[in-house]
Structure 1
Amino acid sequence: MMSILTSVFTWWNGSTIGTRVAISRAKGELVGEDEFGNKYYRLPNDPAKNAAFGTERRWVIYSGYAEASAIPAGWHGWMHHTVNTPPANENYVAREWQKPHLPNRTGSADAYRPKGSALSTGKRPAATGDYQAWSPGD
């Protein structure tokens, strides 16, 4: 019962029932799947193309939690119309300088906290010309 309610009302836990119906009605074409299980679709003969750019509609159905940073570099280029050939059709291999994907850690306990941040551990480093706190007795 809970999985049915989740698929009806939450968009961040994968595709909703409405999305699945829209894909089947609009004849969304599955283009490929990445190593994380995300599935990529397009409407190749879309009459409602973007008037300004004349591009086809492309979208992703995330595997699990919807996290935009979970799209690998090759698929990111295809999603944003930088390249026309999806990585699944060209046997895309990441360049040696491309790092593997890491999830966005903002807002989590693993988030980056530089020295001096209110949330970092330890004492704030002294700065040149550091201020002197005012006290009422001075």
Structure 2
Amino acid sequence: MELTSSFGLTFFYDYATPSKVVLWLASIFSGIILCVLVYTSTAILSSLLFKGYGKLSSAEKIEWNNRGFSTFHALFVSSASFYLLILSDVFNVNSHGDVVINRSSTLSDAVLGISIGYFLTDLAMILWNFPALGGLEYVLGYCWP
């Protein structure tokens, strides 16, 4: 259902349908689980592939592993964005009648949820290991708009 304000802005208050809420929650939890898996895999692979990894301190290993799932997230989101913007027609200006900013797909909603899971996991890691994994500027960067 659509609601128009006196300023001419259109609001969609039934955008969060039950199926989308389930998709978002599943995607967020999937993002958290993926971060834990990549964090653990980074530690295992780094200890097997890089002999210098064993010489790192505990704080340096945490930072290294954290950068592993950060890099994985960057590659994942870049690939999904490339597909959604270049290869698919979801955000093609000429393919649909509605405004581009109001468009979404199941894939774009899932990628958004996975990214939210990543950001929550990264924030939890920063707070859990504070200040070793970034100081006050990292926390403020997440919490300050």
TM-score by length of 1: 0.23
Higher RCO structure, 1 or 2 (CA under 8 Å, sep 6+): 2
Query: Between Structure 1 and Structure 2, which shows a larger proportion of strand residues?
Result: 1
* Structure that is richer in helix per residue: 2
The structure with more radius of gyration:
1
